[in-house]
Every structure is written in structure tokens, then in C-alpha cells.
Copies of this chain bind each other. A is one copy, B any other.
Amino acid sequence: MELSHLTTFVAIAREGHMTRASQALHLTQPALSAQLSKLEEELGQSLFDRTPKGMELTEAGRVFLAHVEPTLSRLAEGRRALAELAGLERGTLAIGGGATATNYLLPHLVARFHAAHPRIQFFVREQASQGVIDAVMDGELDVGVVTTMPTRAGVRPSVPAPLEVRKWAEDELMLVVPTKSRLYGKQKFQWRDLESEPLVLFEAGSAVRALIDSRFEAEGIKPEIVMELRSIEAIKQMVAEGIGAAFVSRYALASPRDGLRAAKGPIRRQLSVVWRTDRTLGSASRAFLDMMLSHDAPGHD
């Protein structure tokens, strides 16, 4: 039994005439006759009654048809899926996220994806979480990475309905201090240590900054903020220059040794992926998203 036999069978069933089906298939009538005979022989029963007016399905034929049609359409679906995959040779992919994601987490993934699909064009945009959500809603971004907070009932950030949010990476903010700091070289710090440390922080309005501020408030600390910056690398640079200490994502550290953990009450956050579920993702975006979600999130180390 081969697929050609099945398509022939379906064609005859659909047309009701072998002759007409043969025209539809661009074959001659004897060819169909032979194919059908072969199929019937293999199945051990006739699928059609040959009437003077054409071909009429037998009970067996009806039963078989009911199985063959889904079979063929399932296969067609597979081919379509492959064609879409092949379409990855020409798609575009717009992804946005905060500084941590765009600078430290995405590059590796993007590189891998690029290696697999060299002709996909990437747009990576750094933006604050709310901006990312808006951009995803507006269709400017296919996929976004945003900061979310762990909650008892799982991840439940406030995002518009058509957005799907999926936890992706676990992050913790680490303290980096200048060499001249008395904390330098330690592995942990106490929150009250920060009263005497000038701080270089991510600019107000960002999600990370909100986390830091609220933690300070919770700990009853009044920090001395000497500078606000937007770029993580710039912040690290400032720390290196001795301007002050700073909080950065652990992903931003070359080595875990470079940062201090809070002895108590570390600032944890989650990075989550968001996308619209009510729009069909381009195959490139879909593939990239699948890659992000299927491979172990970078936070599980």
C-alpha cells in the first residue's frame, strides 16, 4: 500500500467516477483501475461497487475512507509544519527585554539561533519591563522578557489578557563593591553594611530599581545614592572606578565570586517571557520562543 493508492482511492470516492478521478489526478483510467485493484486486493475486500453509473463506496469503503482522509490530512499538516520551519530561512524576530536579558542572557541564545537559521533577521531592543509589555501588545516585539516576582500562587504579574507569561530564569541581585570598600573580597553582606556605602544604582522607574528600593525600605535602610545609570556595564565601570557599590544581576557577573550575596533577604526576581497568544507567532519567533522555553532556563545552575 502506498500513498498514491490512498490518494487515488480518495479521489475516486470524491468524484464517484474512476474516469473523472483519473482526469483530476492527471493519470489514465487504467492506472487508477490497477491501483484500486491492488489496494482492494491488499485489504482483502472491495471498496467500491462498480455500477454502470460509476463507483459507489461499499460499507468497507466508507469505513476505510473515514480513516484515510484523516491520515492524509495529518500528513499534509506535517508537510506544512516543515514548510514553516523551512520558512525560518527568511523570517524576522523582534525581541525585547531589560538590560540583564538583552546584555547577558539573550546573546548566547541569539547566537545559537542564528547559527541554525542564519538568514533570520534579529531585532533586539533593550527596554524597561512596562515598555516591553507595551511593545509586545503593539506587535512591535514578538517576544519580550520582563521582570516578574515570585508569588505564592506562581508567577502572576499584571499583564494584559492576551499575553502569555512564562517563567524563564531565576535571578538574584548581587552586590558589587569597589576594591577600596571594606566589603571587598567578602562573599556576603548585611543590609546595614550599605548605610556606609555610596551606591550606584539602576535608574529610578525600572523594575529592578523598584525591587531594590522596596527592599531598602523593608530593611529600614537609607542608602546614599551617588549616581543613577541605565547601563549595567556603565554601572560596573563606575564600581571599578571606585565611585560606589552597585546591585547587578548575577548574570552580569563574569564570575559568581565578583559579587556579594545578601546574608539575609536576598533580592530575587524572575525573568519571564511574554508573548501574545491571540496572534500567530511567526515561525521564527515561535521557534525562538520554543527554544527559550524548552531548553533549561539559564537560572537553573
Contact pick for A4, options B2, B78, B280, CB 8 Å: B2
A59 touches B91 (CB 8 A): yes
A64 touches B86 (CB 8 A): no
Question: Smallest Cβ distance from A62 to chain B, in angstroms?
Answer: 10
A260→B283 CA distance, assembly (Å)? 80
A64 touches B49 (CB 8 A): no
Say whether, besides A71-B71, A74-B74, A82 and B59 are in contact (CB < 8 Å). Answer: no
B116 touches A82 (CB 8 A): no
Question: Smallest Cβ distance from A73 to chain B, in angstroms?
Answer: 9
- A contact patch SS: helix
A279 touches B49 (CB 8 A): yes
Q: Which B residues lie within 8 Å of A77 (CB)?
A: 67
A116→B49 CA distance, assembly (Å)? 13
Asked whether A58 is an interface residue with its Cβ less than 8 Å from the other chain, the reply is yes
A43→B80 CA distance, assembly (Å)? 10
Question: Smallest Cβ distance from A25 to chain B, in angstroms?
Answer: 15
Contact pick for A85, options B60, B92, B279, CB 8 Å: B60
B70 touches A74 (CB 8 A): yes
A58 touches B2 (CB 8 A): no
Question: Smallest Cβ distance from A4 to chain B, in angstroms?
Answer: 7
Say whether, besides A2-B2, A49-B278, A282-B59, A64 and B82 are in contact (CB < 8 Å). Answer: yes
Query: How many chain copies?
Result: 2
Per-residue B-contact encoding for A127-152, CB less than 8 Å = 1, 0 else = 00000000000000000000000000
Query: A42 — nearest CB in chain B belongs to which residue?
Result: B79
Asked whether A45 is an interface residue with its Cβ less than 8 Å from the other chain, the reply is yes
Q: Which B residues lie within 8 Å of A66 (CB)?
A: 78
Q: Which B residues lie within 8 Å of A79 (CB)?
A: 43, 67
Q: State the A residues within 8 Å of B (CB).
A: 1-4, 6, 43-46, 49, 51, 56, 58-60, 63-64, 66-68, 70-71, 74-75, 77-79, 81-83, 85-86, 91-92, 116, 278-280, 282-283, 287
Q: List 17 A-B contacts (CB under 8 A).
A: A3-B3, A6-B75, A44-B83, A49-B280, A58-B280, A59-B85, A59-B91, A59-B116, A60-B86, A63-B78, A63-B82, A64-B81, A64-B82, A67-B74, A67-B79, A67-B81, A70-B74
User: 17 additional contacts, CB 8 Å, given A59-B116, A59-B282, A63-B82?
Assistant: A1-B3, A2-B3, A3-B3, A3-B6, A44-B86, A49-B278, A58-B279, A58-B282, A59-B280, A60-B85, A60-B86, A60-B280, A60-B283, A64-B82, A66-B78, A68-B75, A70-B74
